[in-house]
Structure 1
Amino acid sequence: MYTVPRQPDSEGGVDEDASLFEALGVAERFAQDREQVTEPSHVTARSPGAARGRASVLMVGGGVVNLVTAHLLHAEGYDVAMVDAAPDPRARRPWSAYGASRGGGNARMFTYTEMDDYHAKSAGEDDCMTLFDRPPSQSGWDVRRYEGEEDRQWVQDFQRVRPWLARAYNGDILGLNRRSGELWQAWLHARPHLFDDVDLRHDILRLYQDGPHLEAARHRQNAVGATVASYGSDEVRERFPALAQADPHAFAGGIVVEGFTVNVHDFMARLLDDLEAGGVRMRFDLRVEEIMRDDTSAVTGVLTADGPLVYDHYVVSPGVEYDALRRQIPSLRQVQGVLGCWATIPNGVPPLENSLKVARRGHVAEDANITVGRDESGESVLMIGSGYGWTGSHPRNIDERKLEDIHAAVADTVEVLFPEAYERIGGRDGLRRTQKHCVRPWTSSNLGIFETSAAVNGAFVVTAGHNTGGFAQAPVIAEAVAHSLRGVGHPMHTLYHPLRTQRVLNAMAGLGGASH
């Protein structure tokens, strides 16, 4: 059933533009659902209890998304193995040796609005459509040293997503976030040992530098059912004394929302230990070089330097470091890199107890996550992750001068919120010694990618491009993978289908409506 509720305006009437956007979004979803139903399936899904023994699954990629998925599949009875091109995350190699999950700061967050859409969602939003034309010093995202062959097309695809479509995408993303939150809660109750000693912190304080942004955020968080409490500036300083010394203009107020943070490197180690104890076979420092296929294009195995690996099912979650896979899996060409910067400071006295999300409109580090956790020596620290730096189709295509502009903006956020800790660590020079960055997989549509095709004895599944939401959506991605392996439908199969945006934009172009 598809219904189109009229959208109210601020005066109790009807917002005609918003109602039109809503109607277009419902029509698009109807068309996508119809395409999904009529799309031919060549997948021979084998259940975990298949006649010739347990169905086997190879996980290609050892980031947090595939680790959570491996846990679910193992619990459902599959014979699970994993291969990853990076070192074992428990080996504590230099951070630059790893992908986004292990390579950045030791912090991840779940909130109901954690993964989001970054396109213009109204006719008046122009700035976000030129993000990729400007460097960070001009409030843009471009940190590239050179332009890659695929970069220009990627930006054009980003700019083709119209506001009504972006609003539809955003609603779909938030719906998947809601489902993921339910699954995270189930995990917390059913698998509490996985969350031991990972500095689990519940309830996130969202801070907003200006009043209008704070007010808009109140409406948004109320709409998604996330609000726990809302405070003005003075009350924030009273209730969270770690922020008492912040700059007088640092925030207009804050909203406590449902959510949690973990030290993600420690959480990954817990997942890996648990999988190994359950008999899951793991290979690190081993790159998949080729997807092997038969003459019908069904996957027969994957080729590595150690020879072929042959399983019933395959689940590929590669991040952005995957040149060989990118050439062989067309949907992965939709994914490019956007880096985020990290810095760490001591958690002072009195310590911050709740992790933060900080919004500073117009600032280079416009959005920042500040996560309470521990460093490798066990000391309480605050890990600051912020900034957006588009690397294009090559994740290491980074101009160090542009990267430094983002690091400097992160340092400014630290100084504004925690001036004593900033001074104690040695100011900008001291903070520089803690700097890291990681490159996250993004799509021009801002939707993740979920693609299922045939393997000889099962399914070949690709999950990719989750921008800032890989950790947040990990349980619902795992659920969608499990459904695929059983040959059962799941909303993500439609919502993150790699052809979703192409279908609707091609249809609009045919109707002469691509610019409206």
Structure 2
Amino acid sequence: MHVCVVGAGIAGLATAYVLQRAGHRITLIERAPDAAAGASGGNGAQLSYSYVQPLADPGIWKMLPKLLLAKDSPLAFRLRADPRQWAWGLRFLAACNAQASAAGTRALLALAAESRQAFEEMQVQEALACDLHTPGKLVLYPTQQGLDAAARQVALQAQLGGARQRIVDAAEVARIEPALAGYAPRIAGAVYTPSESAADCHQLCEQLAARLAARGADLRFGTALRGFERQGDAITGLRTAAGPLHADHYVLASGWESALHARELGLRIPVYPLKGYSITADIPAHLPHAAPRVSVTDTARKVVFARLGERLRVAGMVEIVGPDTRIDARRIDSLRRSTREVFAQLPLDGALRPWSGMRPATPTGLPITGRQRGGPRNLWLQTGHGALGLTLAFGSAQRLAAQMRQA
């Protein structure tokens, strides 16, 4: 079959790769001139297969006044005259309960396990150069109360078949990652997962695109989707900036814009853009141990640190502010300060390569994969992965391919 995939982020490219391997003819369109131009371009780089607690958490309720009012909050909800934002926010708050969080954790763990297997099989086949390594991950908690809550989450994930994890105190944090020795006295402890990985998602997307093209896929960059041609219960073609495009099946993997495209077809999907930021700093050759080898998540600051070769990716912030990709200098300064506080020996004298992107998120944190009730029979969605796009992309792609086989 001929399948057209809309979107060249990690979700779209992983889906195109899996479908091509299944024998389908692939056309991929992307309005940007290159792959990974959206949320995949400068993300946190962590492959978080084992610690996947949804953003919708019961603890959000205690934080709500700060989220709405504090200008420096790492998780910010800036109210706009946008009914979609209000609707998404209300559904998000409704999901902030223990039962929904546990159900979300269960579903995400299962998808993450499938994704790990699919990604590793792909890497055995392709050996893509994307700074992939498996240094493990430390999730830092500043208070004993937070660490106790994390211990309960670890116990839940262990019951659900999650990977081996353990709670470690501040002293052990410093032994696992010496670059944290100066910061360790300021935390209660961490969750340590030895099996977690990191990779440069931008490089991964570029190389997936190259593999697709080399095997006959038609990649059309700089081609915007402008609408649909429809007859009865099926899409008969796409209207694009470069003219009409016809295929047997169509996959919307265009990040948060998938919701806009779906609305043109009468579908209302609960995907809204959550704005995030990152910086990427070069690690000085004479100070290789000033930066971490282990991936680190600082829960107090909502910031992640991932080493990519001789670079350090620092990413964070969640702003529910609508589709605004402008880079706020204050947020970049915040990432710089966080890096200096956590890794005081690491100079940040060179270019920081600031970035912002819009993560496509659902209120529950669970991505949307497959056909939707009331939609065209040959339309498939692949969106809503939030901050876990890199982690979940290949598992989601496998699920979509399986659904398409059964259609």
TM-score w.r.t. the length of structure 2 is 0.86
RMSD: 3.0
- Are the counterparts in 1 of residues 234 and 377 from structure 2 also a CA contact under 8 Å? no
- Are the counterparts in 1 of residues 293 and 307 from structure 2 also a CA contact under 8 Å? yes
Find the structure with the greater CA-based Rg.
Answer: 1
1:343 to 273, 279, 299: 279
Query: Residue 208 in 1 paired to residue 133 in 2?
Result: no
1:113 deviates by 2.5
Does the C-alpha gap of structure 1 residues 57 and 470 become closer, same or farther in structure 2, counting only changes over 3 Å? same
What is the match of residue 118 of structure 2? 183
Amino acid at match of 1:442: A
1:58 deviates by 0.7
- Are the counterparts in 1 of residues 67 and 73 from structure 2 also a CA contact under 8 Å? no
Amino acid at match of 2:49: T
Does the C-alpha gap of structure 1 residues 204 and 329 become closer, same or farther in structure 2, counting only changes over 3 Å? farther
- Are the counterparts in 2 of residues 120 and 128 from structure 1 also a CA contact under 8 Å? no
> Where does 1:113-192 land on structure 2 (aligned, <5 Å)?
113-114=51-52, 116-121=53-58, 126-127=61-62, 133-137=68-72, 140-143=75-78, 146-161=80-95, 163=97, 164-188=99-123, 190-192=124-126
What is the match of residue 386 of structure 1? 316
What is the match of residue 436 of structure 1? 355
CA distance in 1, matches of 2:190, 2:373: 52
Does the C-alpha gap of structure 1 residues 458 and 148 become closer, same or farther in structure 2, counting only changes over 3 Å? closer
Deviations 1:397-428 (A, max 9, x none): 86x7xx4554343233212211121xx324xx
CA distance in 2, matches of 1:240, 1:159: 36
- Are the counterparts in 2 of residues 136 and 389 from structure 1 also a CA contact under 8 Å? no
What is the match of residue 467 of structure 1? 386
Identity fraction in percent = 21
What is the match of residue 35 of structure 2? 89
CA distance in 2, matches of 1:408, 1:476: 35
> Where does 1:90-489 land on structure 2 (aligned, <5 Å)?
98-102=37-41, 104-105=42-43, 107-114=45-52, 116-121=53-58, 126-127=61-62, 133-137=68-72, 140-143=75-78, 146-161=80-95, 163=97, 164-188=99-123, 190-194=124-128, 196-222=129-155, 223-224=157-158, 225-228=162-165, 230-246=167-183, 248-250=185-187, 252-294=189-231, 296-321=232-257, 325-331=261-267, 333-347=269-283, 348-350=287-289, 351-360=291-300, 365=301, 367-374=302-309, 380-392=310-322, 395-396=323-324, 403-421=328-346, 424-426=347-349, 433-452=352-371, 459-487=378-406
CA distance in 2, matches of 1:453, 1:239: 46
1:109 deviates by 2.4
SS of match in other structure, 1:279: coil
CA distance in 2, matches of 1:456, 1:109: 32
Structure 1 unaligned segments of length 5 or more: list them.
Answer: 1-54, 91-97, 375-379, 489-516
CA distance in 1, matches of 2:212, 2:152: 41
Deviations 1:58-117 (A, max 9, x none): 111111011111111111111111110111238xxxxxxx21112x24734232223x42
1:167 deviates by 3.1
Does the C-alpha gap of structure 1 residues 87 and 143 become closer, same or farther in structure 2, counting only changes over 3 Å? farther
- Are the counterparts in 2 of residues 211 and 253 from structure 1 also a CA contact under 8 Å? no
Deviations 1:299-319 (A, max 9, x none): 111111221111111111111
CA distance in 2, matches of 1:447, 1:147: 26
CA distance in 1, matches of 2:7, 2:341: 38
CA distance in 1, matches of 2:348, 2:185: 22
1:279 deviates by 1.0
> Where does 1:35-114 land on structure 2 (aligned, <5 Å)?
55-89=1-35, 98-102=37-41, 104-105=42-43, 107-114=45-52
1:289 deviates by 0.5
- Are the counterparts in 1 of residues 168 and 189 from structure 2 also a CA contact under 8 Å? no
Task: Report how many residues are paired.
Answer: 398
Deviations 1:27-53 (A, max 9, x none): xxxxxxxxxxxxxxxxxxxxxxxxxxx
- Are the counterparts in 2 of residues 458 and 485 from structure 1 also a CA contact under 8 Å? no
CA distance in 2, matches of 1:147, 1:107: 33
- Are the counterparts in 2 of residues 69 and 479 from structure 1 also a CA contact under 8 Å? yes
CA distance in 2, matches of 1:248, 1:438: 33
CA distance in 1, matches of 2:31, 2:150: 40
- Are the counterparts in 2 of residues 242 and 349 from structure 1 also a CA contact under 8 Å? no
CA distance in 1, matches of 2:224, 2:173: 48
SS of match in other structure, 2:216: coil
SS of match in other structure, 1:444: coil
Amino acid at match of 1:263: D
Amino acid at match of 1:110: S
Structure 2 unaligned segments of length 5 or more: list them.
Answer: none
CA distance in 2, matches of 1:131, 1:261: 31
SS of match in other structure, 1:334: coil
CA distance in 2, matches of 1:384, 1:453: 36
SS of match in other structure, 1:387: strand
- Are the counterparts in 2 of residues 141 and 388 from structure 1 also a CA contact under 8 Å? yes
- Are the counterparts in 2 of residues 83 and 287 from structure 1 also a CA contact under 8 Å? yes
1:324 deviates by 5.7
- Answer 1 or 2: higher relative contact order, Cα 8 Å, separation at least 6: 2
Does the C-alpha gap of structure 1 residues 149 and 263 become closer, same or farther in structure 2, counting only changes over 3 Å? same
Does the C-alpha gap of structure 1 residues 299 and 130 become closer, same or farther in structure 2, counting only changes over 3 Å? farther
- Are the counterparts in 1 of residues 77 and 320 from structure 2 also a CA contact under 8 Å? yes
CA distance in 2, matches of 1:182, 1:166: 24
